Amino acid sequence: MNLFILRILFIFTGILTPVFLVAQQDSGMSLLGDEPVERIKVENAFKTTRVINLQSLELTDAGVMDMKINHRFGAVGLGSYEAFGLDNASVRIGAEYGIIPNLVFNLGRSSLGRMVDAGLKYRIMHQTNDNSRPFTALLYGGAARTSLTMMGSEYVYTAQLIAGRKETVRFSWLVAPSVISGKAGQVIAVGVGFREKITPRTTLNAEYIPVLSRPDGRGNSGFYNSFSVGADVETGGHVFQLFFTNSAGMAEPQFIAQTNGSWMSRGFRFGFNISRVFTVVDPGKFR
């Protein structure tokens, strides 16, 4: 990770530190000051570790493997000859494993760009019900390699700070300042994601990732900001995510830096993610 990325993370850490300090002043007492409030970690802000494309506030438990199948059809604007995108598809198959509590490793392979991606996701703070820790914060660092040219380099790196909060039983949000770095330069973006619970097993999700700058200040250079909207459906040990997105890629360098579909010109596509967890090591052994 280069000096620029470290500076970005330092800036956001500096912004968040005063909030952490204020939160820590909360002694855990009630408003009347006489009854302690039991401190409990707030869980299930999102149903899975992704909002749609973006990393969510969730982590795979230590000792648990989360298998991922991600699928994107072609753009609806391809028309009836291409079955409105159904004749074209890209796939990513990957997995996430909880190494220890609060630390997850992920690995995946995408057909688009023949890309292999890997990363580490670490939770630095977990929201609690007494607001002594008012939100959840995580760091994500990833690397990807493609056999096709991307930003002038075969290797591209991702750094993200992910912070958000479960406001109510129904509603959660997050913000994710992101830097995509390659030899040709850096792309800076800030993603936002939302979840609204509809039923105990169904949620509506949306995310938007505006790009703030590209190498040499060239604006979006023919690319578009990623926007996705859809629903999560939980069935037993599976979570199905069904959505529409203008991003064909499923790794961070692709959907953050190289979304080439426009919603206005029917460049969006239907996609789905499938998540299935398997216990490899009893999570109780890590407590």
Q: How far is CA 203 from the centre of its chain?
A: 16
Mean confidence (pLDDT) of the chain = 85
Mean pLDDT of 86-99: 93
Nearest alpha carbon to residue 225 among 245, 211, 236, 205: 211
| pLDDT (0 to 100) of residue 220 | 54
Q: 283 or 141: which carries more pLDDT confidence?
A: 141
Those residues whose C-beta lies under 8 Å from the C-beta of residue 111, and which sit 6 or more positions away, are 90, 91, 92
Q: What is the model's pLDDT at position 99?
A: 96
Compute the distance between CA of residue 7 and CA of residue 15 in angstroms, rounded to an integer. 12
Position 78, amino acid: L
Residue 212: exposed, middle, or buried by beta-carbon count in 10 A (0-12, 13-18, 19+)? exposed
**pLDDT at residue 265 tops 70:** yes
Give me the CATH code for the 3-286 domain, please: 2.40.160.40
| Average of per-residue pLDDT across 159-172 | 97
pTM of the model: 0.83
